[in-house]
Amino acid sequence: MKKIGIIITVSIVSLMAGIGVGKGVEGYRQNNKNGVQEESVVCEWKKPESVKSKLKDPDKCYLCGYDNRSLMGLFRKYDDLGIICVNNWYVLDMKIRNHDDAGNLTGPQGHINTTFTGTGEGGCFFHASPNSDRGISDVTVSYGENSILDVKFIRKHLCQDCLDKLIAVMETYGPEDEPWKPRDLCLVDFNTLELYSLQGNYSSYYVGDYYVEVDDSREEELKVTAVYAPELEKNGEKSGE
């Protein structure tokens, strides 16, 4: 897995109990109230070894190129984060900070823009509530029945470098007897085009000047909260104070 300066909010002891070398044990053998010994569940990290791109023209890459079916050419102007629904290549601007369509930062707008959008039948549904005046955005994603990553589709639309980045953040952790079935979601930094996991493996991490929390405690829903939290100066004050 690519290291991205992640701040883990679970204890090291709990984490090591679940990982080990390539595999881990989630839970442990214990007697229940009837004295019957319960079985442990053996878990492991899962991702495909490699996926080869079938995109012939790298300039048409949905992430770093300029295909007219992708809006990344527009979003790359923004100093902000977004969520990509990969199977439909729907890109949601989280609007953590106020900016115009050209990417220029603007002043307070005095309101919260709540939006509801979907990616079509069987896809994901987004409920976004950005409070850009304060540099905060909450997005809830409801999974659709077709929200498992479609590798055959995306290998046709990403260059090899971008495909490698995507697969790297699609690692999942679960019972060893279950197949690798990541959700078709990832986080993107519009400025750097770096991708980050939304598979529930991490509860929080930093992306540049942004702090991101991921809550996948509900079975068919994912909540992502992002906050603009630049580093304070030596005296603990904000820049310009």
Q: What pLDDT is recorded for position 3?
A: 39
Host H or E run for residue 79: none
User: Residue 149's pLDDT is what?
Assistant: 95
- What is the three-class DSSP state of 28? coil
Regions of the chain where pLDDT drops below 70: 1-39, 236-241
Helical segments of the chain, H only: 12-18, 72-75, 151-154, 160-168
Strand partners, 211: 206, 227
Instruction: List 187's β-bridge partners, or say none.
Output: 83, 196
Euclidean distance between CA atoms 158 and 165, whole angstroms = 10
pLDDT score for 135: 95
Assigned token pair, 161: 């470098």
Residue 6, pLDDT score: 39
What's the pTM value of the predicted model, to 2 decimals?
A: 0.80
Beta strands 195-197 and 90-93 are unpaired
The domain limits of the chain are: 12-228
